[in-house]
Structure 1
Amino acid sequence: MKYRLAYIDEQETSLSNFYSHFNSEYELIMIKVDKDSTIDSILEECFENEVDAIVTDYKLEEEGDVNFNGDKLFNTIKSKHPHFPVIMLTSWEPDAIDHMENVHLIYNKDILDGKNSDEFTIFKSKINSTIRNYYKKIEDTNNRIGELVDKRNSSSLEIPEEEELTKLYILNDELHPDGKEIPANLIQKESITQLNDFVSEAKEILEELKKINKK
């Protein structure tokens, strides 16, 4: 099965170049940024098409006639889907580095110029690895929540296990902000309600602790 990538750019030539390099190995959703584009509309198109990863250009406002660049798009995705695979591919690498917190997710478009096949192969390998790790995190989180809930239902959990389950509930909420993909043994109305309440309460506690620590 091919992974599905969204590629976001404001230049037709860059979109065509990306397509020519990746269409044989991936299903591609090509998104051209123009004056009608918004961050919300771009993300809606990506997630409605159930992409496995997003690759975006940095200098979107160069010709796209919009008021945002790839860093703002990147940060919005990470605020809503903190673990989702997002990669930046740009000709403006120094500028992108100045505006990005995680510089390891920035790559230069020179890898598509055909001069270094090894570097291009490594880049594709990194995309695949990032996607696999994302889905592995989801699988491991679901499985471990299921194990701990089964144990709690049949006997009881030790304090470290209760703490682990708390963190896993919060992680599960981050991995699935839409509330889907809850482990099978939690898919009852009462369990989902309890889980949502628990996550909300845990987040409130964490926010209060952050405020205390800032004082």
Structure 2
Amino acid sequence: MKYKIAHIDESDQAINQFYHNFKSDFDIVKIKVDSDSEVHSLIEKALEKEVDAVVVDYLLIEEGEVNFNGNVLFDEFKKIRPHIPIIMLTSHEPEAIDHMKNVHIIYSKDLMDGESNVELDLLKAKIKISISNYYKLIDDTRLRIEALVYKRNVENGLSLLEEEDLAKSFVVMDELEPQAKGLPSHLTHPHEITKLTDFVSQTRQILEELKKANNK
């Protein structure tokens, strides 16, 4: 089964070119930016398609008639799904680099011209590995939670370090799977989800206080 990628761009030509180059390796969800587009609506379009990664253009204002560029879309996406792989593909690398903290996700659209199949194949491989690592993090976090919950409930309880590990793992899982699809089955009932949401919120506050205390 192919991984599914959302491709967000304001140019029909760029969207078609990307589709032509990537359709053999991925299922592509085309998302066109136009004057009616808003940041959160674009994110919702991608998430409702349950994509595995996102590729976004930088200079969306060029033809899209919007007041934001791909760096804003990237930042807002990461607030909702901090760990989902996102790639920026642009014809304006220097400008994109000036507006991005993580410059390693920026790639040139020149890869689409067909002159360097090696570099294009390398980008495809990087995307696939990033997605694979993303799902490995989900699996590893779920297994860690299951092991710690079992030890807490069935064995001799948890040490303070293990309790902190469990709390952090819940926070990561909440970021990875907001609907709790990756949690142990006995924690996915509605009343448990409510308790878990409260627990995650409290845990975030505690971890922030610990971080502040350690920085003093």
CA contact (8 A) 2:6 2:30 kept: yes
Question: Stretches of 4+ moved more than 3 A in 1?
Answer: 188-191, 206-215
Aligned length: 215
Gaps of 5+ in 2: none
CA contact (8 A) 1:146 1:185 kept: no
Match of 1:45 in 2: 45
**Alpha-carbon shift at residue 32 of structure 1 (Å):** 1.1
Match of 2:60 in 1: 60
The SS at the match of 2:115 is: coil
CA contact (8 A) 1:91 1:109 kept: yes
Amino acid at match of 1:38: E
TM (norm. structure 2) is: 0.93
Amino acid at match of 2:41: S
CA contact (8 A) 1:145 1:165 kept: yes
Match of 1:183 in 2: 184
With over 3 angstroms needed to count, the CA separation of the structure-2 counterparts of 1:13 and 1:48, relative to structure 1, is same
In structure 2, distance between residues paired with 1:210 and 1:68: 33
Within-5 A mapping of 1:15-164: 15-155=15-155, 156-164=157-165
**Alpha-carbon shift at residue 90 of structure 1 (Å):** 0.4
**Alpha-carbon shift at residue 203 of structure 1 (Å):** 1.4
**Alpha-carbon shift at residue 200 of structure 1 (Å):** 1.0
In structure 2, distance between residues paired with 1:38 and 1:72: 11
CA contact (8 A) 1:8 1:32 kept: yes
CA RMSD of aligned residues (A): 1.8
Summarize deviations over 1:154-186 as a string: whole Å, max 9, x none: 121122211211110111111123444322242
Gaps of 5+ in 1: none
**Alpha-carbon shift at residue 195 of structure 1 (Å):** 2.0
Q: Percent of pairs identical after alignment?
A: 52
Match of 2:171 in 1: 170
In structure 1, distance between residues paired with 2:159 and 2:101: 38
**Alpha-carbon shift at residue 211 of structure 1 (Å):** 6.2
The SS at the match of 2:89 is: strand
The SS at the match of 2:58 is: coil
TM (norm. structure 1) is: 0.93
Summarize deviations over 1:26-51 as a string: whole Å, max 9, x none: 11111111101111111111111111
- Counterpart check, 1:3 vs 2:3: yes
In structure 2, distance between residues paired with 1:140 and 1:175: 11
In structure 1, distance between residues paired with 2:184 and 2:149: 10
Summarize deviations over 1:43-87 as a string: whole Å, max 9, x none: 111111111111000000011000000000000000111001111
With over 3 angstroms needed to count, the CA separation of the structure-2 counterparts of 1:182 and 1:28, relative to structure 1, is same
The SS at the match of 2:87 is: strand
